[in-house]
Amino acid sequence: MQLDHDRQVSSFDIFTAYDAGADQVLSFGGVELDDLTKLVHGAIFTRRGEDLKNSAIFISGTSVSTAEAMLKMICEQIFFGDRRVSIMADPNGSNTTAAAAVIKIKRAVTLQNKRSVILAGTGPVGIRAAALLARENNQVILTSRRLDKAQSACKAIKDRFNLDVQPMEITGESTLKQALDGTHIVLAVGAAGYELLPEDLWVNNPTIEVVADTNAVPPFGIGGIESIDDGAVRHQKIVFGALGIGNLKNALHRSCVARLFERHDLVLDIEEIYQLGNSLQYI
Ligand code: NAP
């Protein structure tokens, strides 16, 4: 059962559920918190015992905070005792995409005690990726075109994960150069179709080891890379493009959905999705 707070449900998540082996996807759009009890009761009272694992809930939608509130309400107020089914939250693909990006980077270089810059990190993917990198003992800088947006994204990370990420405003080339100074990892997670980092600003940087980008729509977030780059070496840096990251994202997404049907009490949020991604074979 797909529960989406947007009126138009995420079709990507429906296709992926079928690819993951679901027999039937029941999609509900425009779902509000007040609707959850009735919808979830339908899933937990129609089956018993072992049969409960034949149903699962997937929370989609574009707002991470709304999806998180839905997950919390279902797990803490609606499920009770053994009356529960497995549930996963992946609003706007943020959990699976951020996990895949960070896993790709982690497989390429040592993360500990490095400095990362998350360019345009104020969106769902950026906030999750910044938190995952900070958990890996990275010093993380999260940038935005506006300092107050970067600050509120960092506060959201502190509130949710108790991790410190440094906000930074990028207003042009000089602040961008400042952000890159002494940086080892650059992850661009800006809106589709906008270049955030031109090629000439990273190719000769002496400290940068990895550049990665999740934007699959040209112009890509980082100039001078291809979306299919998947650990390619360009200008002595390891490079990941959106489709290179997307291969692992899609495999992880499918794997998570498939796991939901192995038991009836699994909860897959960012931490569990990242852990599961780390256990996947190299993709
Ligand atoms: P988002 O919320 O749409 O955008 C992220 C940030 O981009 C915004 O918060 C904004 O930051 C900045 N931005 C918006 N318009 C901009 C502009 N004109 N110029 C410069 N910056 C701009 O992104 P998201 O949902 O987190 O997704 C991040 C990226 O990952 C997107 O490109 C998305 O398409 C992609 N994606 C890829 C996959 C995959 O498998 N590869 C899966 C899901 C998503 P400020 O306003 O704070 O500057």
128-171: pLDDT as tens digits: 999 999 999 889 999 999 999 999 999 999 999 999 999 999 99
Residue 93 Cβ inside 6 Å of ligand 1? The answer reads yes
* Closest approach atom of ligand 1 to CA 145: 48
- Spacing, Cα 168 to ligand 1 middle (Å): 16
Residue 18 Cβ inside 6 Å of ligand 1? The answer reads no
Residue-wise pLDDT for 75-98, tens only, equals: 999 999 999 999 999 999 999 999
Residue 189 Cβ inside 6 Å of ligand 1? The answer reads yes
Q: What is the arithmetic mean of pLDDT over 205-220?
A: 98
Write down the pLDDT at residue 137: 87
- Spacing, Cα 180 to ligand 1 middle (Å): 19
Q: Are 249 and 241 in contact (CB under 8 A)?
A: no
* Closest approach atom of ligand 1 to CA 127: 26
Write down the pLDDT at residue 281: 80
CA angle 113, 115, 118 (to 5 degrees): 140
Q: What is the arithmetic mean of pLDDT over 246-264?
A: 97
* Residue 283 pLDDT exceeds 80: no
* Closest approach atom of ligand 1 to CA 122: 9
Residue 96 Cβ inside 6 Å of ligand 1? The answer reads no
Q: Are 149 and 122 in contact (CB under 8 A)?
A: yes
- Spacing, Cα 192 to ligand 1 middle (Å): 6
* Residue 270 pLDDT exceeds 90: yes
Residue 191 Cβ inside 6 Å of ligand 1? The answer reads yes
CB neighbourhood size of 115 (10 A): 20
Which residue puts its alpha carbon closest to atom 40 of ligand 1? 246
Ligand 1 pocket test, candidate residues 60, 64, 105, 145, most atoms within 8 A of CB? 145
Q: Are 131 and 270 in contact (CB under 8 A)?
A: yes
Alpha carbon distance 266, 229 (integer Å): 34
Sign of CA dihedral 209, 179, 140, 199: negative
Q: What is the arithmetic mean of pLDDT over 19-47?
A: 97
* Closest approach atom of ligand 1 to CA 97: 42
Alpha carbon distance 233, 236 (integer Å): 6
Identify the residue with better confidence: 112 or 240: 240
Nearest to 4 by CA among 77, 71, 52: 71
Which residue puts its alpha carbon closest to atom 37 of ligand 1? 214
Residue 244 Cβ inside 6 Å of ligand 1? The answer reads no
Q: Which helix (H) or strand (E) holds 36?
A: helix 36-45
